[in-house]
């Protein structure tokens, strides 16, 4: 009796797990099919869900707070089943060092680091779709003397999937990686133009406005634990 019951339980577990695996594979196949067929609504929903899931993640240990905030600001500019273009917002990395606030990295340096990490995410962490081309536009925001907020492009980079496959994500400095891609950066008062030779042009005006609103929306700070860890490490180094 006991042996028969154990066998029945094992069979039931096997059937349930098998059904769940089959259902997951069927759902994945459906997502891939409708996206490949050009269902822009399905792709937009997938990207919205993916970006939201990224925002809920905890930062990896050692990630500068400014880099994490930049990644959290990701907003979709345009996409199809082969190409994706997003904007992110970079700010200077200001941290407390020995009781004083200091700028440890400029907005331009944060832009380089965040652009590389965002490309990596777009190429390898978006489920059900494998983009062949990605473009990341890194903007910065400042206020004019009259109080109006303006955004300017610090950096724009375009990369193919083949180029991404050869990137030294964890070994090479971000500047070297960007040099291997089609990258333009601001120089002095000459800002980069993200629409010049863009892999895909922005969508409808309301989509562009939605992307700008997402960039300006309040962004979550990295977890207090990560910030404390960085502060303690710097204090210890000092």
User: In this structure, what token pair is assigned to residue 135?
Assistant: 């473009």
Output the pLDDT for position 98: 79
pLDDT for position 148: 74
Distance CA 87, CA 212 (A): 9
Report the pLDDT value the prediction gives residue 149, as an integer from 0 to 100.
74
State the pLDDT at residue 43.
84
Residue 143 — φ and ψ, nearest 5°? -110, 135
What is the number of residues in the chain? Answer: 238
Please tell me the predicted confidence (pLDDT) of residue 236: 44
Q: What is the pLDDT of residue 213?
A: 58
> What confidence score (pLDDT) does residue 176 get?
94
User: Strand 83-89 and strand 75-79: pairing?
Assistant: antiparallel
Q: Give the pLDDT score at 36.
A: 63
Greatest CA separation found in the chain?
83
E strand residue ranges, the chain:
75-79, 83-89, 93-97, 100-105, 133-143, 149-160, 182-185
Residue 19 pLDDT: 54
Within 8 A by CB and 6+ apart from 81, the residues are: 35, 36, 38, 43, 129
Partner residues linked to 153 by β-bridges? 139
pLDDT mean for each 10 residues of the chain (238 residues): 67 67 53 63 86 89 89 92 93 83 87 95 92 95 74 93 93 93 89 92 59 54 47 43
């Amino acid at each position: 009796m006991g042996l028969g019951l154990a066998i029945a339980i094992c069979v039931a577990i096997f059937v349930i797990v098998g059904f769940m695996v089959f259902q997951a594979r069927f759902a994945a196949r459906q997502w891939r099919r409708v996206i490949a067929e050009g269902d822009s609504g399905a792709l937009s929903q997938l990207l919205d869900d993916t970006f939201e899931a990224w925002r809920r993640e905890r930062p990896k240990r050692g990630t500068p707070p400014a880099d994490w905030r930049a990644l959290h600001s990701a907003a979709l500019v345009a996409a199809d089943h082969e190409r994706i273009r997003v904007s992110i917002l970079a700010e200077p990395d200001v941290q407390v060092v020995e009781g004083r606030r200091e700028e440890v990295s400029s907005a331009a340096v944060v832009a380089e680091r965040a652009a590389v990490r965002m490309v990596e995410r777009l190429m390898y962490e978006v489920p059900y779709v494998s983009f062949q081309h990605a473009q990341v536009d890194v903007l910065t925001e400042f206020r004019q003397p009259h109080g109006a907020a303006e955004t300017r492009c610090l950096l724009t980079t375009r990369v193919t999937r083949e180029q991404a496959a050869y990137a030294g994500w964890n070994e090479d400095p971000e500047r070297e990686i960007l040099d291997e891609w089609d990258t333009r950066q601001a120089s002095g008062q000459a800002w980069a133009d993200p629409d010049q030779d863009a892999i895909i042009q922005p969508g409808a005006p309301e989509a562009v406005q939605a992307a700008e609103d997402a960039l300006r929306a309040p962004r979550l700070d990295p977890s207090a634990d990560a910030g404390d860890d960085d502060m303690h490490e710097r204090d210890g180094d000092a």
